[in-house]
Structure 1
Amino acid sequence: MRLFILTSIVMVAFAANSVLNRLALADGEIGPSAFATIRVIAGAVMLLALIFVRSQKLQFSKPNYPAVLALCAYILGFSHAYISLDAGFGALLLFGAVQITMFAGAFLQREKLGLQKWIGAGLAFSGLVYLLSPANAGINPLGAGLMTVAAVGWGIYSIIGRGAANPLKDTGMNFLYAIPLVALALLLFPDNSEITLAGVVLAVISGAITSGLGYALWYAIIPQLQTSTAAVAQLTVPIIATAGGIVFLAEAIDLRFIIATAMVLCGVAVSAYQRKPR
């Protein structure tokens, strides 16, 4: 029961990132570059504080450049995409594209992929194609493209992180070394909106709480979960984000979104499902 509750908290935290980001940008409380910068700073501070509390010391390691660049692509693409995307749609696109990116990574690394995983990946990809088809004129193509960049970044970051000996420390270091690059993006692509106190608070919550603490808790409980269980648990993220968008942002959903959601979630569930050995 305790593990179920902790897993549920993590999934809510992951979905909350979409709602917080969209809430800040939709109301004009802050711009996407500033939101991303504050988020990564708050996340780094929280993660480094957790590392210090856990080990009573801070040892700075050399940057893992591919991981840092992938994390920056995720954070910047994520924030800028939510200028035009709804919270639920963005979460679904992010989630589905991350799974496809990781599947492609496994294929390129010549991992053994059975027919079941091919069917699941194909179903998830078909759901995204259906969602993003030209017939759906209400979707902003730039926003969808930026969220796809974010998804590829997070997928690559996740693949790199699989071999981490100390995930919490590595994540803290990656957030720390991402600060200059994300801040540089703020200088190169300044926001048009003013920064309000509400916008700063939303960005800090997203960075320190739903990202920093959320990632730390996820890394703490994931060894207790089977791989398939962890994958299926993440199926709830787009649904929770959609519910948050409806409640806090008065966002609407249509039949196309419902069908695409079902296709993506079913596809990932098929890929993640593992039979218990007899």
Structure 2
Amino acid sequence: MASTTPLSRTALTFYTLVALIAFAANSVFCRLALSNEQAVSLIDPSSFTAIRLASGALMLALLMLLTSVKGRSKQDLATQDIATQNLVTNDKLSTKKHGSYLAAGLLFVYAIGFSYAYVLLDTATGALVLFAAVQISMMMISYLQGQRLNLLEIIGALVAFAGFGYLVWPSLSLGSETLSITGLVLMAISGCAWGGYTLLGKGTANPLFATGYNFIRTLPLVVLMLAIVWLLSGLVSVTQIQSDPAGLVFQLSTQGVVLAILSGALASGVGYALWYQALRGLSANHAAVLQLSVPVIAAVGGVIFVGEKISLHLIICASIILFGIALVILAKTKSKL
């Protein structure tokens, strides 16, 4: 069962800060591993996704095991009723009670779209598109479920979409390659999948176990993906192997594997666990506002660790998009007062 002990201000600040940095670190790790500006890629997108999900599943499984052991210890102190203790343990460890195959499918779509998009997008742009797509998709799903938008929410949504239009416009101009439309679409799909995954997890009794079992449920999809890539790689010519923008050839290096493990085990596994701890002390609106910082943190990480440059155009687009999303969040806050 989830802990009901209130978080101290220090603990809440620590969990929140580390979790937000972990979210941004996912973008940095992925971009470092998959950047198409290197002579030879450190790892291909499918292998990165497979290692990320597998290492995330392993880390979360360990966290679930530790949580179960801790829960059993507390139960021993409270009562010697073995039957009750086994009931609690079985409830936590039953896959039928945590997560779902639909959520796992959305998690897989998010992860694979995320990896392939970062072959084509820089760190800051990818994080901005991902975050905005998550927020907008959640808003649209809520609308389709019957939650109507007020005037401020409509204005905020229009401002955010205008920011997206301004972000993409130079790339739609004849002869311009400012932004990869393919990368944009892939990251938008990834963000929409994560938005759906997030909504499915709302109200989950035990978020850690739900997330852990969802990661574990992605493993058959990971095996299927690797099999498909392996089959397609047999159709790729030697010339294409030297330059493989579609990621249809397995490419592994020690550095690439390490980055994928860091992304899966630490930035995803530990990061998500800490975020769920932080959510115990944050309102939904506060959590949404805090996530506005993720693209900014990712952009700084891209500059420091990847050597990327942030253009004035991206700064203006980010400001417009984030302002529009902030208006939507503010409108939700006011409607609940």
TM-score, scaled to structure 2? 0.78
Whole-angstrom CA distance in 1 between matches of 2:223 and 2:163: 35
Q: Percent of pairs identical after alignment? A: 42
Q: How many residue pairs align between the two structures?
A: 278
Whole-angstrom CA distance in 1 between matches of 2:105 and 2:33: 25
Residue 6, structure 1, aligned to residue 11, structure 2: no
Contact 1:96/1:125 (<8 A) preserved: no
Whole-angstrom CA distance in 2 between matches of 1:16 and 1:51: 23
> Could you tell me which residue of structure 2 aligns to residue 251 of structure 1?
308
Q: How many angstroms does 1:142 deviate by?
A: 1.3
Contact 2:60/2:208 (<8 A) preserved: yes
Match of 2:328 among 265, 271, 276: 271
Contact 1:14/1:211 (<8 A) preserved: yes
Name the SS for the 1:234 alignment partner: helix
Letter of the 1:130 partner, please give it: Y
Residue 170, structure 1, aligned to residue 207, structure 2: no
> Could you tell me which residue of structure 1 aligns to residue 294 of structure 2?
237
Whole-angstrom CA distance in 1 between matches of 2:161 and 2:229: 32
Q: How many angstroms does 1:38 deviate by?
A: 0.3
Contact 1:29/1:193 (<8 A) preserved: no
Match of 1:116 among 152, 156, 162: 152
> Could you tell me which residue of structure 2 aligns to residue 64 of structure 1?
100
Letter of the 1:59 partner, please give it: L
Cα RMSD for the two superposed structures:
1.8
Change (3 A) 1:276 1:163: closer
Whole-angstrom CA distance in 1 between matches of 2:33 and 2:133: 24
Q: How many angstroms does 1:243 deviate by?
A: 0.8
Q: How many angstroms does 1:168 deviate by?
A: 0.9
Q: How many angstroms does 1:9 deviate by?
A: 1.2
Q: Give the 5 Å matches for 1:122-141.
A: 122-133=158-169, 134-135=172-173, 137-141=177-181
Q: Which runs of 5+ in 2 are unaligned?
A: 1-8, 70-88, 231-247
> Could you tell me which residue of structure 2 aligns to residue 158 of structure 1?
198
Residue 50, structure 1, aligned to residue 59, structure 2: no
Whole-angstrom CA distance in 2 between matches of 1:15 and 1:71: 17
Computing the radius of gyration over CA atoms, which structure comes out larger, 1 or 2? Answer: 2
TM-score, scaled to structure 1? 0.94
Q: How many angstroms does 1:253 deviate by?
A: 1.9
> Could you tell me which residue of structure 1 aligns to residue 34 of structure 2?
25
Q: How many angstroms does 1:193 deviate by?
A: 5.0
